[in-house]
Structure 1
Amino acid sequence: MYKLIAIYKIPNDIDAWEKHYSEVHTPLVKKVPSLKEIRLNRITGTPRGASDLHVIAELVFENKDDFKTGMSSEENMACGKDLFNFAKEIVSVHFAKEEVISL
């Protein structure tokens, strides 16, 4: 699996952020071609207590070609514009190739 991972710090106005993320940003993301699924990881803390992170979002693609298709799409460009309008100061974006280690 190939992923775009967005790591969000805790926003100043959590309610406004959540509203925008669910009502505006997520519908845009769902339009990205070849996207298999969206995984939201809501941060609940660290071994030492509180965290400065709010959400880690994973946009999952089946393979490298699907990832390239999604990332180069107009729909993804619209997501990027929206992302930097509502979360520019609190987000970092990363690309990853998932490796699974079996038990």
Structure 2
Amino acid sequence: MTVKLMVLYTQPVDGDAFDEHYLGVHAPLVEAVPGLQRWESARVSGAADGGESTFHRVAELYFTDMESLEAALGSDEGRATGRDYRQIAPPGSRMFIAALDE
């Protein structure tokens, strides 16, 4: 069953500087993670319900199954990506794992 790692980044102090690092440094780290089927990321442009825009950026990383995700996170590339996440993620940012309904 396909699983995805969903990453929600809260609002950074400087959104442009965050995106510069995210796209120039973090994205290439993500792309090197073994077992990654595909991934996508987007800058949040507003809240559809009219509420506060709590999040700045979202990312979704897709893997074949939970074992592939766990192997990816435990790889050298996955650990390097995790270290960078801990450096750049604003307080309150979160990661979730979801199984796709297939």
TM-score tier by shorter-chain length is: 0.7 to 0.9
1:26-84 per-position Cα deviation (integer Å, ceiling 9, x unaligned): 11111110001111133222221441211111111122332222122111111111111
Indicate the residue corresponding to 1:32 in structure 2: 33
Indicate the residue corresponding to 1:44 in structure 2: 45
Q: TM-score, normalised by structure 1?
A: 0.86
* Conservation of the 8 A alpha-carbon contact between 1:44 and 1:50: no
User: 5+ residue gaps in structure 1?
Assistant: none
Q: Which residues of 2 match residues 1-103 of structure 1 at below 5 A? A: 1-46=2-47, 47-100=49-102
Q: TM-score, normalised by structure 2?
A: 0.86
User: Aligned equivalents of 1:11 and 1:88: distance in 2?
Assistant: 5
User: 5+ residue gaps in structure 2?
Assistant: none
Structure 1 counterpart SS, 2:53: coil
User: Aligned equivalents of 2:97 and 2:4: distance in 1?
Assistant: 6
Q: Percent identity?
A: 33
Counterpart amino acid of residue 100 in structure 2: E
Which contiguous aligned blocks of 4+ residues in structure 1 show a shift greater than 3 angstroms? none
Counterpart amino acid of residue 80 in structure 1: G
User: Aligned equivalents of 1:99 and 1:89: distance in 2?
Assistant: 30
